[in-house]
Amino acid sequence: MTAPQITVVGSVNLDLVARAETLPVAGETVTGATFAQHPGGKGANQALAARRLGADGSMIARVGRDANAEAALALLKRDGVDLFGIVEDEDDATGVALIAVDAQGENQIVVASGANANLSASDVRKTSACDAVLCQLEVPVAAVMAASDIETSLFAINLAPAMPAPIGLLERADLLIVNEVEAAFYGDNLHRGDGLVALTLGGAGAVLYRSGKELVHMPVFSVPVVDTTGAGDTFCGALVLALAEGQDPGEALRFASAAGALAVTKEGAQPSLPTREEVEAFLKTQG
């Protein structure tokens, strides 16, 4: 099978991660944490996830002209993601995410978007045809709108973080991916088009819909949880890859759910992303 060509239009960040026993509430200081630095950003995470799972992947994004850019792109370069579409921003720094993770793997994230906020439609329009396009909303909606014009068989949007988006853009997507919070934000607008809608439900698994009707529900896989950062991005990259390969919706959802489950068993967003071999081996143990 020829590897699907998947173009990801989205964000690149450097993740600064503090792991502590508990997460702070408003006004509270939590001490005794450990610190690590990892490449991140929803776009970069999803591009790397798709690449490790078997895609011929490329990335369109903006980074600053700073030391953080090299660190943020390190794993994408190492794993062979095509970075021809990366633009160096002259005005803003590389995006940074401040992440706190507790002993149960739950997290709190604050993102300083930096150069991500400057990704433009003209940056995107240079892209050639591909098998699938995957976007998120950590970059301007204008860039996502431009991505919808790329010649492709599968145009997908992970509607995260939830924010206003043109109804026409939602209707144009072949696949929308949301969690429960995002699904509540968009409501029935998710189902106005003819494409698939994937809803992740945390411990209750994931569901695929078409035209508002449930196609398949996948229960969650039971795994030890170390860090949930990046699990949703892994699910997105895996689902788009599986559909681009021609897997039917049920198979694709199972594959994506397994990949997302494996991502929570390790620390960090990009360091935790599983390979195709790991996902297939895991699925064999699940019957």
179: phi then psi, degrees, rounded to nearest 5: -100, -175
The half-sphere exposure of 250 on its side-chain side, counting CA atoms within 13 A, is 4
pLDDT digits (tens, 9 = 90+) for 170-208: 999 999 999 999 999 999 999 999 999 999 998 899 999
Cα first-last separation, the chain: 24
What pLDDT score does 272 carry?
83
User: What CA–CA distances, in Å, run from 59 to 5, 127, 195, 286?
Assistant: 11, 10, 24, 33
Please report the domains of the chain, with CATH numbers, ordered by start residue.
42-92+119-285 (3.40.1190.20)
User: What CA–CA distances, in Å, run from 148 to 68, 151, 152, 245, 259?
Assistant: 29, 8, 9, 20, 26
Q: pTM to 2 decimals?
A: 0.92
Integer Cα distance of 95 and 93 in angstroms: 6
Q: CA 54, 55, 59: angle at the middle one, nearest 5?
A: 140
The half-sphere exposure of 171 on its side-chain side, counting CA atoms within 13 A, is 4
In which band, very low, low, confident or very high, does the pLDDT at 228 lie, cut at 50, 70 and 90? Answer: confident
Active site residue 233: yes
What pLDDT score does 254 carry?
97
Per annotation, catalytic residue among 15, 92, 233, 248: 233
Helix or strand or coil: residue 198? strand
What pLDDT score does 77 carry?
96
